[in-house]
Structure 1
Amino acid sequence: MIRNDTHFWSPAHSDGLSESDLSKIHDTIKKRNLYHIPRLNFCCDCLERIEDDDFRSGCNSCGKQWHLRCIPSSPAVINHPFHAYHPLELLIDVPPEHSKGKCDACKEELKSYFYHCSLCNFSMHVRCSRNPPPPKVKTSKCHERELFCMVRNDTFTCNACGTHGERCPYVCAPCGVMFHRECIDLPHVININRHDHRVSHTYSLGFGNWKCMICHKMVDWRYGAYSCSTCPDYVVHSKCATRVDVWDGEELEGVPEETFVVSPFREIEKGLTIEHFSHKDHFLIKIDEEDDILDVSIRCEACVRPIFSETHYKCMQCDDFFIHETCANLPLRKRHWLSTKPFYLNANKDESKSLFRCDACETTSNGFKYESEGPEGVISLDIRCAFVISSVSLECHTHTLFLTTMDRGTCGGCKVSEQYVLRCTESECECDFSLCLACATLPEKIKRKGDEHFLFLRHGEKASGKYWCEVCEAVLDPREEWFYTCDVSGVTFHIKCVVGEFPNAKPGFTYHYHCVLGEDPALMYARYHRPVQGEKAEKIELVHNNRITRPNCATCGSRCLRPLILKLKLVNTYEVYCCDVKCSLQFLMNTTKKYQDLHKKMYGETSWPSGQSFVVSTSNPGIRFSDNTVILRLQDRM
């Protein structure tokens, strides 16, 4: 692309357009000087991306840009069938304050360069004005007869989705039905990520009090909706079922339904012995419900929660393989609201109990996981979150909590913001209660090592005074905080003091830190679950805090009180303990400070390279750079 003072050239156009010619075209809106620049942006007309090699025009005064094919040539005033009462005036600035901010034709956001009626507050994209509704539709998915567009501004209720429309419905006069333009071709059969079966569109559910299983609002049985033929009570609004975060966009009418019913185990002796896909080396024997297991270190391989009196399987030869009966029957494939693609069960054994981050609750686990290939990479779910499809019922709240939208919010339990939350949807409930997935999947009863009785999850108790945590001896406000308590002895505990920082991880695994040097440890805290696997990295192990004398944290100096702590092995000579991830990251930061000075001496840098990553290692001494990674050796340089 070449630019000079008089012409702008494009490989696709042999004839140049002078700046005066472009300005004349732009004069239909407002006379300004135009220019060409090869940078990425969006066309103000078609709203499509302008690539680097596209020929474009821009306005020096307003900064707007257009494809060459979209150079503003639209008339300043038009008459349109969508708004037949008044002419529409072309505006190129941001929508006026009194406008609704959306196109009345496609319902998408207005940015700039659109038609507007100030009398009726009606707005329309220029691209929508060029695509008026066809006067009639001979064939459609919503109706067997021909439909005609009624060019009127009367409100109506769409028979396909049950929501209101404001203008130009498609009608069938003999049948007395009306449809939105976008609803005349709603898919008949689809998969949605809130249900494991297909759902089909129907134009009448039949009399009843139906509730949408996505937004949990009432569904008018007189209008169209989606329902499941396998689950007779499962109904979804048409608009909810076809949301981009719910539907994968595929029409399945005429496509045979996949039968994916594969058992996760093979029964060796009926009702007694099985061979599970995650432990094929040995058979598992069934253990029926019995007296409470006092050893809380016996944990399920799948959900990583302790096994108390539940029916479970144990390996006949391995001493450390246990799995709940319910977890042994986990489906190998299921759907989840975090992706429109199906999730597949991964036993997480090939990576030596690799620590992973659950993308729903944002906590760490090393048990079984469900994975799905998304556009931004692999999405992982721990077992608990995988089965929170749309709702959860807890003893600590009167009403059932529902996942109605993908909008993030603040959890009423841990008070952490910007999380996926389940909300209370009861109209008579004024609590506006919401709960994140990490709190929603906390065990409602738990037992500490050595305790005789169970602890139960509580919150919102009306107490005149304050409680004290039996572990950290800090104050606990029962009206504001969630806590565990024993109904027999009355002792209370903070959540973190009972479940620790790794409620979904099984002790005994080792992993390696990978973080950005120079960040505050609190910021690096969110990155600790991104390990760099390899033999050269520093060994860090999650262990039980069950020594006779609890160790002191190598960073904060306080006594490690939580049930699971981190053990760091340094230079194969000695070990230190840290009470949590933040302290362990701070410890690693402190141990690398002297190597920053060493790096400056060796490489002449005035400061540590910004944005570099580090891995602490015990072998191949020296400091090296490889793929933008600083390898810190704990011995002299080679």
Structure 2
Amino acid sequence: MEQLKHFTHEHLLSLVQLQPDHNNEKSDKEDEDEDEYKDKDDIVVEDRYVGKCKMCEEEIFSFHLSYYSCKDCNYSLHKYCAQLPTTQQNHPLHPGHSLTVFKFIRTTYSEWACDICKNPRKMFYNYHCYICKFTMDIICATMSEHKMDHPSHPHQLQRSRSWMISFCYACGNKHSGTFYNCSTCSWFWIHLECALLPAKLLIHQSTNGSFSHSHLLTLSYSFPYIERKAMFFPCCRVCDDGFKYYNWHLGCNKCRYYVHVDCATSTRDAFVSSILMPAGLGKTYKNFKDDDHPNLTRYPFPDESVNLVLMHLFINKGDLLIKGKIDGQLFSHPHPLILLENGSLSLHDPMKKVELLCGGCVRPITSLPFYKCSEHDCGFVLYEWCTRLPSEIQNHYDHPEHPLVLLPKIPGNLLNVFKRQVCNLRSNGFAYGCEECEYYVDIHCAFIPDVITHEAHPNHLLLRCNSSADQSKRFCKACNQYIQLGFHCPTCDFYLHIRCVLLLPRTIKHKYDKHPLSLRYYPVENHSSEYFCEICEDELTRVVLSLQHVFHVYAHCLCPPKTSV
């Protein structure tokens, strides 16, 4: 019936048709137009909520397909509520007696309870039996009509008869309230809130700045293994947990940005999201004061030549006299060393295939001044601060039993190459060592600070930790390898290898490209092609170094440990 005169309202009600929301996938052209939403600050919500039914006092959603509405006033009814007769005979839930509809029961009590769902009601439409005093609310009376055709499932879903607590198949979490389930697939239960999730969602200011993404995220109803493998098994950008193939998620394939549905729609307080809850890969809020850490070392290094670990030893020492000439024998070198403040000597430049590495810290020398061997044919060079290294270290964090002595050369080693005990890499630079225990570390690992910060996990302090000491299995966020000694954020359970911290500067030059390459922590937005290494041609997974979305290389292909030989 297009029009209906209902006993609950004085005006005629008109039937309004709703389109079923099956079109969850947009066309390619529509995907290209997503950027028009990038400046919006709200969640993009589709037209799922229509109004509220005046009989059962529940919402009218688009999946109800149609409803009755009054054109003169704000009065709406579900179609199945509006078509209920005032009297019913042999109702399946109460056969044998007639049931009559009432707005409320005229008793001395202001509240009553439905005999089917046991929910307390007040001033609520119900069906009542005068013979046995049976009372049933309108929701239970129309339960067989509460169905949903959802694009996530091939079968029609039926509403659960009563309020319940259960795990939701969509998000994988426990919910309380109204569920819809499939009578054919008994395992399929979804909570009403998850069923009403929009097909497109924009994360921006609505999440208190805890995390954001400028593109619309598309709702997907599964994440098969093959797709996850093709995307290198991504983790949720909010909580950093993995995905299950059957749980729903929101994602942007352009940027390889994926989040759980409950993480994307979370409205937790920003402090709770970033401090008390795992911060994952989203925005973090500062949990320390700069005044409490005046000498805090900040990573990554600006470029390959900078060594903040060594430089911070001399920052607060005042003006130090720089000698013009020093004895090379102090550093196991047979010739005197002279300070080079200007001259025609070529500095380190990969594009010109010129390699000039400090013999102490094995860092590229890209600027003056530095010390050079006085002999013309000898290529031995030293940074000025490497000539000021202390001769001994007491109570080293990884070898406190004995003092470590500065060793320009490791006794008995061919070409002075040794394995660094802290980062397990090889070097032929200066070392601090204990010959009694055959323990050697390079000068970088010798001065690792207790506390640092890193751009990959900003605003939270990272504490030096030893995972092998507490037998914990921790994995580096950069290379995904097991950590023995590294840095840890106890608030967010975030780990980095010491070698990933030391060997990956913010920018680097490479002989295959004339532009500097910048360190990236996540895929680049609007990237037009696949991510693969320009050197080994493998697909990129974790740490990505990129230049203007064009030149990509693996971090371990670009930054192998250098030697000065």
With the shorter chain as reference, the TM-score category is 0.3 to 0.5
TM-score (norm: length of structure 2): 0.37
Higher relative contact order (Cα pairs below 8 Å, separated by 6+ residues) = 2
Instruction: Give the alignment's TM-score, normalised by structure 1.
Output: 0.33
Q: Which has the larger radius of gyration?
A: 2
